[in-house]
């Protein structure tokens, strides 16, 4: 019997493709009428890339993503703190990709339409609720844009809510939870055509908890003027009186709220204010997450991706963790069929793992090194080891990889979550 998936984001579409791979019928219900390539750049880490490769998506990823080669942290003065190789260069068997979120979502959508058929990827279907039936679950949808009540009710064996940080399913299960929690920081994000920097495939982070800049290239080839698309995120801790607006991935940024704070960040290897000023469209987004909850699975319904564990976009984990959820759900459906037992087994593995990550991201994840440097040497330093020992630097990086599940040797030695040839029993 069919698995119903609410939400056609990166998590929901990966789940649909994974279920198709093992021969289990699935239907995706997406709230919006047309999935547009929204958002800016994201990183997909090797453990998640590996699962996309098992889905046969390597060529498509290669064609549209940049293989991230290095991650490097700098102080607000542009001085190096820590750098580490990434992807194949770090010894993983799989690359790390920097890619536009919209490109990744479109790639998954096109493949899902191709493999599952358009009739199984329904847009203008916004989940509003469900009831359990003798054989499974009946989910109800409306067309949100027209406000017309019923877009239909559909029967399935189980319902997986992959409907993002404003999940309607989570709201039904936790009616008193309220909106996401804002931590006082605002992100401004954009993509600017500019010259390549450092290795040409480096992701950099500069600054500290109060003021930070992140950027990396998301286009493989330069344009006619020799420019690459450089994805950037500027982040500022706002005063307590700041009136923040509900997160919306499409809200236009106001340069005067952040550009002046970065005017002096002209390093000999990167012109930060130039990148901000030359960006055609920048967007604003408050840094929000939610407290981890104690249960995801209720009867034949469960949560996944940002609906289950919305986290700060620190350590490049939002999309990667949603992909891992999709693969673990699929593995458990292989073992138990599309049943509550499968959902409970998925939750038993993924809820503790992602809870740790949500909490670690609140402590700045691997970016702690930048904050420690700022606290210990706000006026600058000659060499970073005068401020932070090599051991401290190595421990912070290693601990994050362990919690997020992408230690090189451990990951290389593990079998994939779902292998290429796995098929569910008929």
Ligand X SMILES: Cc1cc2nc3c(=O)[nH]c(=O)nc-3n(C[C@H](O)[C@H](O)[C@H](O)COP(=O)(O)OP(=O)(O)OC[C@H]3O[C@@H](n4cnc5c(N)ncnc54)[C@H](O)[C@@H]3O)c2cc1C
Instruction: Mark 14-53 with x for binding to ligand X (rule: CB under 6 A) and - for no binding.
Output: ---------------xxxx-----xxx-x-----------
CB of 365 to ligand X, least distance (A): 13
Strands 181-194 and 96-100: unpaired
Instruction: State yes or no: residue 306 binds ligand X (CB under 6 A).
Output: yes
Instruction: State yes or no: residue 109 binds ligand X (CB under 6 A).
Output: no
Instruction: Mark 318-337 with x for binding to ligand X (rule: CB under 6 A) and - for no binding.
Output: xx--x---------------
| Binds ligand X (CB under 6 A): choice among 87, 95, 217, 305 | 305
Number of residues that bind ligand X (CB under 6 A): 30
Q: Which of 285, 242, 228, 282 is closest to 259 using CA atoms?
A: 282
| Binds ligand X (CB under 6 A): choice among 51, 70, 163, 374 | 163
Q: Which residue is nearest to ligand X (CB)?
A: 9
Dist. CA 377–CA 379, nearest whole Å: 5
| Binds ligand X (CB under 6 A): choice among 7, 190, 286, 366 | 7
Longest dimension (CA), the chain: 69
Residues within window 239-278 making contact with ligand X, judged by CB under 6 A: 249
Residue span binding ligand X (CB under 6 A) among the ranges 58-66, 194-202, 302-310, 353-361 = 302-310
Instruction: State yes or no: residue 8 binds ligand X (CB under 6 A).
Output: yes
Using CA of residue 212, residue 399, residue 304, residue 169, what is the dihedral sign?
A: negative
Instruction: State yes or no: residue 97 binds ligand X (CB under 6 A).
Output: no
The structure tokens 């982040």 sit at 235
Task: For residue 205, count CB atoms less than 10 angstroms from its CB and return exposed for 0-12, middle for 13-18, buried for 19 or more.
Answer: buried
Q: What does the binding site for ligand X look like in residue numbers (CB under 6 A)? A: 6-12, 29-32, 38-40, 42, 101, 126-127, 162-164, 168, 249, 305-307, 313, 318-319, 322
């Amino acid at each position: 019997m069919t698995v119903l998936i609410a939400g056609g984001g990166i998590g929901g579409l990966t789940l649909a493709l994974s279920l198709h791979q093992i021969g289990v019928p699935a239907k995706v219900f997406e709230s919006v009428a047309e999935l547009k390539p929204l958002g800016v750049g994201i990183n997909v880490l090797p453990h998640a890339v590996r699962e996309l490769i098992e889905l046969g998506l390597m060529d498509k990823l290669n064609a549209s993503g940049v293989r991230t080669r290095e991650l490097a942290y700098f102080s607000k003065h542009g001085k190096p703190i820590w750098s580490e190789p990434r992807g194949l260069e770090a010894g993983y068997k799989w690359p790390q990709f920097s890619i536009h979120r919209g490109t990744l979502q479109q790639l998954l959508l096109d493949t899902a339409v191709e493999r599952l058929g358009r009739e199984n990827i329904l847009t203008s279907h916004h989940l509003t609720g469900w009831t359990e039936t003798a054989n499974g679950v009946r989910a109800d949808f409306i067309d949100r844009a027209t406000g017309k009540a019923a877009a239909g009710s559909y029967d399935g064996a189980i319902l997986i809510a992959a409907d993002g940080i404003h999940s309607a399913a989570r709201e039904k299960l936790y009616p008193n939870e309220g909106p996401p929690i804002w931590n006082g920081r605002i992100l401004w994000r954009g993509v600017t055509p500019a010259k390549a920097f450092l290795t040409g495939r480096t992701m950099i982070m500069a600054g500290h908890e109060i003021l930070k800049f992140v950027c990396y290239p998301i286009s493989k080839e330069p344009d006619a003027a020799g420019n690459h698309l450089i994805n950037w995120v500027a982040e500022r801790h706002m005063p307590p009186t700041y009136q923040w607006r509900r997160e919306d991935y499409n809200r236009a940024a106001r340069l005067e709220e952040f550009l002046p704070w970065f005017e002096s960040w002209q390093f000999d290897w990167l012109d930060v204010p130039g990148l901000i000023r030359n960006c055609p469209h920048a967007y604003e987004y408050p840094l929000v997450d939610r407290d981890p909850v104690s249960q995801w699975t209720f009867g034949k319904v469960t949560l996944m991706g940002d609906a289950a564990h919305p986290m700060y976009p620190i350590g490049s984990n939002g999309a990667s963790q949603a992909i891992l959820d999709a693969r673990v759900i699929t593995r458990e459906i292989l073992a138990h069929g599309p049943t509550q037992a499968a959902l409970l087994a998925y939750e038993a593995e993924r809820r503790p793992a992602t809870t740790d990550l949500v909490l670690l991201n609140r402590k700045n994840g691997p970016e702690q090194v930048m904050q420690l440097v700022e606290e210990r040497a706000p006026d600058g330093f000659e060499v970073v080891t005068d401020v932070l020992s090599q051991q401290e630097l190595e421990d912070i990086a290693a601990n994050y990889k362990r919690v997020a599940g992408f230690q090189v040797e451990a990951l290389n030695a593990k079998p994939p979550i779902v292998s290429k040839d796995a098929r569910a029993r008929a």
